[in-house]
C-alpha cells in the first residue's frame, strides 16, 4: 500500500471520528438542554434537590456550560445552604460572563452582526459579583463581600453607560448601594428607575412590563399607593381585552399591598399616641 493511500485512509478516519464526536456532542447538548429545562421547573416548584441533580446531569453532558448554567446551579446551592459551592459556581459565572463580553466586543468591532451593545453581558457580570458578595456576607466575610459589591457597582455603571437604558439596571445598582449602606445613592437610583419607567410608558401607557417594574420600584420606596395603582392599571387593561391570564395573581398582590398599607397606617397611629 502506497504512502498516499495510507494518508488518505488516515484522513478519512479522522473525519469519521470528528463526525462521530460532533454528533455525540450535538446529542449531549440536546440532552443537557432537557436537563436544564427540568432543573428550572423543579426549582420553580421548590424541589431544590432534584433541581440540583438535573443541573449536575446537564453540566456533565455539556462540554462548555454557559453563564446562566453556572449561575442557575449557584442559586440552587444557595437555597440548599451550600455556600462554598455557590461561591465556586458564581466565580465560574463571572469568568463565563467576561468571556461572553470579550466575544461581544469582538463581534461589534468586526461589524458582521447587528449586535450594537454589550449591556446584557455587563449586567450578567455585575449580577454574579453581587450574588457572590451575598454568599461571602452569609459566611461572615464582610471584606470579600464589600469587594464584590463594589465590583458589582462598577459593572452596573458600565452597563448603564453601554445603554440602552433600562430601569432595572438602576434598581439593581440601588440594591447593591443599600447593601453597602449608601442610602442616598440607593434612593437616587430607585427614583431614576421610576423616572425611566415613566419615560417608556409615555410611548405605551399599557406596557405591562414597565407598569409592573414601576410598581415594584414604588414599593421599594414605600410608595404603596402608587404600587397598587400600577397593578390595578394592568388588571383594568387585561379585563378590557378579556385577558384573564395571571389576573388572580395581580388581584392577590393588590390585596396584600392594601393589607400592608393598613398595617403601616396603624403603626403610625400607635407611634403618634406614644409621642
| Angstrom distances, CA of residue 246 to CA of 40, 116, 194, 208, 251 | 20, 34, 23, 12, 9
Which residue's C-alpha cell is 440594591? 175
Q: Which residue among 161, 181, 216 closes a domain? A: 161
Instruction: With respect to residue 72, please indicate whether it lies within any of the assigned structural domains.
Output: no
Q: Does 239 fall in a domain?
A: yes
Q: Are residues 268 and 177 located together in one domain of the fold?
A: yes
Per-residue pLDDT, 125: 93
pLDDT of residue 78: 95
Residue 71 inside a domain? The answer is no
Are residues 189 and 109 located together in one domain of the fold?
no
> Higher confidence at residue 174 or residue 104?
174
Residues 275, 169 share a domain:
yes
DSSP codes joined into one string, 26-68 = HHHHHHHHHHHHHHHHHHHTT-HHHHHHHHHHHHHH-SS--HH
> Do 141 and 176 sit in the same domain of this protein?
no
pLDDT in the model for residue 59: 87
In a domain, 123, yes or no: yes
Q: Is residue 180 part of a domain?
A: yes
In a domain, 218, yes or no: yes
The domain tally of the chain equals 3
Question: Are the beta carbons of 197 and 214 closer than 8 angstroms?
Answer: yes
**Among 161, 187, 219, residue at a domain's last position:** 161
pLDDT tens, residue by residue, 42-84: 998 999 999 999 999 988 887 778 888 899 999 999 999 999 9
CATH number at residue 224: 1.25.40.10
Residues 193 and 261 in one domain: yes
Q: In angstroms, how far is CA 261 from the centroid of its own chain? A: 29
Tallying the residues shown for the chain, one arrives at: 275
Retrieve residue 270's grid coordinates: 400607635
Tell me, yes or no, whether 186 lies in a domain. Answer: yes
* pLDDT above 70: residue 2: no
Structural domain boundaries enclosing 55:
1-64
Name the band, by pLDDT with cuts 50, 70 and 90, for residue 222. Answer: confident
Q: At what angle do helices 142-162 and 119-139 cross, to 10 degrees?
A: 170
Q: What is the pTM of this model?
A: 0.76
User: Is 126 inside a domain boundary?
Assistant: yes
- Do residues 67 and 96 touch, judged by C-beta distance below 8 A? yes
Reported as a single tens digit per residue, the pLDDT across 230-245 is: 888 877 777 776 665 6
Q: Are residues 248 and 189 in the same domain?
A: yes
Does residue 260 share a domain with residue 190?
yes
pLDDT of residue 247: 57
Name every residue whose Cβ is closer than 8 Å to that of residue 97 and which is 6 or more positions away in sequence.
67, 121, 124, 125, 128
pLDDT of residue 260: 66
Output the pLDDT for position 205. 81
Highest averaged pLDDT of the listed ranges 180-194, 198-212, 237-251: 180-194
Instruction: Please list the alpha-helical segments (H only) found in the chain.
Output: 3-44, 48-61, 67-79, 83-110, 119-139, 142-162, 167-180, 183-203, 208-220, 224-240, 247-274
Amino acid at each position: 500500500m502506497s504512502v498516499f493511500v495510507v494518508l488518505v485512509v488516515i484522513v478519512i478516519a479522522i473525519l469519521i471520528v470528528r463526525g462521530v464526536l460532533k454528533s455525540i456532542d450535538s446529542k449531549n447538548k440536546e440532552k443537557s438542554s432537557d436537563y436544564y429545562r427540568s432543573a428550572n421547573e423543579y426549582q420553580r416548584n421548590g424541589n431544590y434537590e432534584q433541581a440540583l441533580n438535573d443541573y449536575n446531569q446537564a453540566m456533565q453532558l455539556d462540554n462548555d456550560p454557559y453563564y446562566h448554567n453556572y449561575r442557575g446551579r449557584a442559586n440552587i446551592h444557595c437555597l440548599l445552604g451550600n455556600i462554598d459551592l455557590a461561591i465556586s459556581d458564581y466565580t465560574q459565572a463571572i469568568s463565563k460572563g467576561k468571556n461572553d463580553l470579550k466575544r461581544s466586543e469582538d463581534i461589534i468591532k468586526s461589524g458582521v452582526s447587528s449586535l450594537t451593545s454589550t449591556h446584557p453581558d455587563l449586567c450578567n457580570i455585575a449580577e454574579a459579583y453581587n450574588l457572590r458578595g451575598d454568599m461571602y456576607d452569609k459566611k461572615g466575610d464582610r471584606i470579600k463581600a464589600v469587594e464584590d459589591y463594589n465590583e458589582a457597582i462598577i459593572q452596573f455603571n458600565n452597563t448603564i453607560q453601554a445603554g440602552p437604558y433600562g430601569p432595572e439596571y438602576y434598581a439593581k445598582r440601588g440594591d447593591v448601594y443599600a447593601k453597602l449602606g449608601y442610602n442616598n445613592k440607593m434612593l437616587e437610583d430607585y427614583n431614576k428607575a421610576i423616572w425611566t419607567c415613566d419615560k417608556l410608558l409615555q410611548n405605551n401607557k399599557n406596557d405591562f412590563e414597565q407598569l409592573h417594574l414601576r410598581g415594584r420600584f414604588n414599593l421599594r420606596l414605600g410608595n404603596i399607593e402608587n404600587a397598587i395603582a400600577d397593578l390595578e392599571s394592568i388588571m383594568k387593561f387585561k379585563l378590557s381585552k378579556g385577558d384573564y391570564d395571571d389576573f388572580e395573581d395581580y388581584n392577590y398582590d393588590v390585596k396584600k399591598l392594601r393589607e400592608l398599607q393598613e398595617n403601616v397606617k396603624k403603626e403610625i397611629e400607635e407611634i403618634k399616641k406614644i409621642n
